[in-house]
Structure 1
Amino acid sequence: MTEGDLTEFQTEGGRSTSKKLSMQATAPPSDVPGYRLERFLGSGAFGQVWVGRDLNTGRPVAVKFFLHRGGVNWSLLSHEVKNLVQLSADRHIVQVLEVGWDNDPPYYVMELVPGGSLEDELTDRGALPVGEAVMLFRKICIGLNHSHNKGVLHCDLKPANILLGDDHEPRLADFGQSRLTHDQTPSLGTLFYMAPEQADLGSSPSSSWDVYAVGAIMYRMLTGGPPYRDDSIVEQLDTAGSLPKRLERYRESIRNATPPVRHIQRGGVDRELARIVSRCLAPEPDSRFGNVQEILDHLDRRDESRAKRPLMLLGILGPLLLLIVTSISGLQTINTAKEETMVALKAEARESNLLAARFAARTLESELERYFRLCQEEINSPAFREQLGETLRDAGLNQRLQDLADAGTSLEARKRTDVREALLDNESRQKLDEYLQSRLVDYMPSEDHPHRPKLATIFVTDQRGTIFSIAYVDPVARAQSSAGRNYAYRTYFHGQENDLPKTTPIADVTPLRQMQMSAAFQSTATFLWKIAISAPVKLSDDPDAPPDAVFVATINLGDIEILQGDEQKNHVAVLVDAREGPTRGTLLQHPYLDERQREGKLDIGEVYRVDVDTMDALLTGKDVDYADPVAAAEEADIYSGGWIAAMEPVTVPRLSVRPGGTTVERPLLPSRGEQSDLLVLVQYRLNKVFAPVGQMTQSLIRTGSVGLVALAVVSAMLWFFVRRVRDDRVVRRIRKATVDLAPMQDAPSDRAASNRVAPGNSRGNGPSRQNQSSKDTSKPMPPLDPTETIEVPPKPE
């Protein structure tokens, strides 16, 4: 007995009584000698169920009291207990421990099965693994076979009536609908677990009913749902009207439906197991197994067949083992030579790649030096200094710049749009814009000068970090221009290693005092990564005076030619951020990012990083199987696969400018050493390195494939021969069984003869079965619950 399996068919009066009983269940109806009743478990149509404990053994039990009998055929109720007592010897049937039939009220004691029902298990888990389902199926059949051998037919098998112990052993329960094999009284089961011929008030109990039901349970365990059940059939049953009409429609729906196939489609279900389930579910009883023992016999034969399968395979493949061992030995020799060659090629390629990374880093340093010299020339240009001085002497411009600085922070300064608009309209500032634009155009590469340094922007900030003049290589709208916005938090203004928070007070930030390269930052317009070369500009000769402005030239990292890879993307050079912190390992330049930007698909949040451990290994010269971080991105399959990678730091000179215009090189900062915040990473495809080895391997594979094809053909012929012989034996066995069964089919069966006997006549009370089956009432009935047992209506008193 389990806590989740207490439902029985009840009339309206029974339900009312049950409700009262459940409300009054504060104490057991009576004491049970030898047992202590501990708690109320539930109530059913005929009484209450309590959980108790055996005082001698401490074993938990379930005690069922029968409290009310009015309007109920007591003999039909009591036979459940008698049948359970008769079957108590089998471990797969719920054990009845004691019966108090003479007690008032009567009771019986059964084992308490704490593991719930199979219905609960299937509701929680859905379809079970095939191996577990077969194990449960076999044990259910063993218990059912024991019941049949004792002359008891269950007649209401379903997952809710199969309980699971702590050991997960199934136990058959609820024999309330059971019949003895010689009993002619009809018994209705549960929809979609009930055989179609059982759904008839004039039917006689048969073992084939239980065969169908156990097949439906196995189907449920394999697929998660019972056979034949769908919404359309349930709707037809609900609209059929009276019980006889509903039962008739149930029979017709199963016999006219396409045989269920979901268990055949289930992965892991072999052909023999599928045949067993399909035969159990045959709509016609003569097409099913004759009894449950036949199911067990077929399961045994299936197990034997599966056990013989490895031997069968060994018998077919045995002659090939020697050849296979020889082939494996040869392949191992080839693989050993291949691996040694690959190790040597990889080491050579890694050294070559390291030289390429060093060359790329030195070349990049030379390119950056050109940008430093360019900035140096610009800030020392008399024309620039004259135009800058004229602009900074403009009182209106200075007032606007002061108003923006008075906002307190860069974030607050962006809100003063009226001040920015007035600053942008300043004529003196616009003249400086025109001068910077002309200088930017002069640096654009052309056919005559294809290798000129390419700048992205040139701009000037005041001594508080506000950009008051800027030139773009690609013009931008007034709203997107950075002019009139404060960037005191940027590294190109204050010269520190990382940007400051935008909420940093402007007054707390001092401009840099020497020319230097900024940390990489992502453009808010193009989303490409940039660096800036910035230098302080002094218009006076006072060496202690703060700079009057900061000159900044920005470069798109993708515009530096040394970082461009080949068209096939087999040899790629990229730039990596070397700064400590969350940005370490960020790809600052990569051909994929350039392609995305040209197509207009690059996003500000699109960031790719090299793993920090991989970076450390590459910087120490270790052999690393490198995977490109962009390989997992959209439309980046070309960068997938293995790479050989080498990494080299980039050194950048730091220069300072004296007021007189002469330039001297300033010693590098002790805390930073000679390394900048940039690393060059050069990657080369592994498959290109191993291409010669691959060609050799392909040649060997082609030679060996001929032998493998020949082996496959011979094996296929052997398989075909073995299967053909096996199928012929099966056909002969079926034909023999058909011939043996022919005389039995021609003779009238005892079942057919017994079907002609009315249960009412045999028992001496109640109407005949013919009258029951033909009688139809037009009185509307409530919808049928397919999960509940349909009971035969009680005979009138």
Structure 2
Amino acid sequence: MFEDQGVESREPISELTEDQSAGDRLSSQKLSMQATTPPSEVPGYRLERFLGSGAFGQVWVGCDLNTGRPVAIKFFLHRGGVNWSLLSHEVKNLVQLSADRNIVQVLEVGWDNDPPYYVMELVTGGSLEDELKRCGTLTADQAVVLFRKICVGLNHSHSKGVLHCDLKPANILLGEDHEPRLADFGQSRMTDDQTPALGTLFYMAPEQASVGSSPSTGWDVYAAGAIMYRMVTGNAPYRTQETLDHLDAAGSLPKRLECYRHSIQQSPPPQQHLQTQGVDRLMGQIISRCIAADSRQRFTNVQEIIDALDRRDQVRLQRPLMLLGVLGPMLLLIATAVFAFRTVDNAVDRTRDALHTEAEGSNQLAAKFAARTLENELDRYFRLSLQETSKATFQQHVRDALQDPPLKQALDEIAAAGTSREARQRTQARDVLLDSASRLKLNEYFQSRLQNYLGAPETAHVPRLATIFVTDPHGTIVAIAYKDPVSREQDSSGRNYAYRTYYHGLENDLEDSTPIASIQPLSNIHLSSAFQSTATGLWKIAISLPVYFDRPKRLVEGEPTDDLKRKPDAVFVATINLGEIELLQSEQKDKVAVLLDARQGNLQGTVLQHPWMESDQGKAAVREGARFQVEPAMMSALLDGQNVAYTDPIAKVDDSEDYQGEWIAAMQPVWVPESQAIADSRRRSPEDRKSGLLVLVQYHLSAVLSPVRKMRDSLIWEGSVAVVAIFLVSVTLWFWVRRGNRPGNRRLATEVPQMGRLRSTVAAESTSPLAAESNSAESNSAGAAQHRQSPEGAELTETIEVEKQV
């Protein structure tokens, strides 16, 4: 945004109007007159001279009457062309970030004025783009100084939750002191914003070049590295004539974006900066990691870049710091010897914190491992379902049952009830169905297939199914095999469950009063959301897939064929008791894995499976309808990855001493497995792969901190030994350091570049959308605050323009 705030270079009126018609001269004269008189007075500021005009207004140089500070004031004279929502979005972000010296400062906003305006600091040094056009490249030391300050400003922006998303040299303004300032936050997004943002070609990360991408700190990391690459080589990374020709021939925006992504991902990593004079090995590695095509190989955030620059500085200063590295332990030794007895408690506290931190990291890894293991186990169930439905005997039994006239008439009568709730009243039709010989034959087949898995040895890694059943095209269960026998009344055969997720494939169950005719059955294999069994009350999940007697054709180029669009002949369903999944079965008391409901709404955080639920007391409580749920505030904190003192909901139950107290908890989502067999039937998007399940691994805090108690008992004795050992090691190190730093071996400190004195002292906080580069030199949000040296229309071939709200 703010593509109208660049300033046009002014030439004498005579030169502009020499060959104009009378009407053109009149219009030019009118514009000239407008430029001599400010559009409006601004309280507290004196407007001194006209600086230039843009597509949507004028820029004036003014003076703050209170402080005498020169400022730039931008008036928006043409309201019709301005997207006020995006404009206010950018100004709001700039105001929030204006405390940092490396970000252009917005001093005042007057949206209620006529015309509207905003006041910002006057930056007169041009942009980094202007400087690079003048001199081509910068020296490595100059580039590192600017790069560090750009990263500090960017890190400050990230610490406020703002991602720039369109960082490039034209958006880096230079003050008279050559201090860089980040500008043009028109494409910025908050860190929790999922709205895409398109940036500028060759400064935009490949994953950003998509209208469906989600903002990430990795975008700004890539752009910062691309700017550094440009400063030392004179060219943006991956920018070749061949790539430009492919982009020009791509046509539409989506094709251009795809072409851009593909060209970067298929191109070898840029190497030009590694051969540039003055770029040392560590600096080259930092740049290479920033502009890596694979986002997983980049720095996670800008703070990591700053840390890498700091480590580079430390390596360059290594020898002078060796002496300090020896004196430090000596001083520590003296302090330890003097205050040993006073620091015992502090040492214990530090150890507690260290163990806590280590346990948190271990718990995170355990949660990730548990989630991936559960996905692999679910994949086995997916493959089992696909194998069962592909058997010719299965197809024949189901076809015979559904084509049996009496059974078909009973199913039609049940579906004619209108809703699943009303269908329960069709008891006569259900009785006919239950006594149907073809149904009993199908049921006997299902029972034999279920026993095939239940009868496997305990040591065999065989899926454990709770039920296998098939519904007709309207959602009525035709035949079902149970792990444990049930009575005729409890048998679900003849009951309609079209409202269940395993039938329609949606995220949540529908109301049982939903018309059956309005519910479409699923068309692909599906993992249902967790649901409670109507017979046992246990939480289950189901894997279901449509059954076609005449197999549908495969997907061709991502488009469904007419066969896939038709209603399936039946729906096969296999259910699993969550308590029987091997991952969730554990005898450990201090570290347990728990399964939670991840769906938004009042069920979020519901405990679906817990080791306590496998006890007699737990099973009885679940049968009686007891539900345990993580508190919303704690659930939100865990989803955000915060370290909280977790309290197990089961602890509220009597006789649950094993789950009392505080726990360290880590949470990871479970994704629907993307096996090859499933991939062949449908291309899955990330949204399709959400399973609605969360694995939570909890580690009892008392077990984590038990080593601290033992440490306290032995600290005094071990401390004495440590003091002597440290003293001996320090004396030895001191001897060798002194010997190595003799005049013949010593390097002069003057070998350290002047850059070392210019290191930023800003302690930026670390936190963790394609903006169009304007068709003129007016593309920068702070362009209104400087006099542009470059002509209009720069880099038109490298710009893509799209709406801010995709």
Shorter-chain TM-score range = 0.3 to 0.5
Q: Which has the higher contact order (CA 8 A, sep 6+)?
A: 2
Rg larger for: 1
Q: Structure 1 length as normaliser, TM-score?
A: 0.44
Q: Structure 2 length as normaliser, TM-score?
A: 0.44
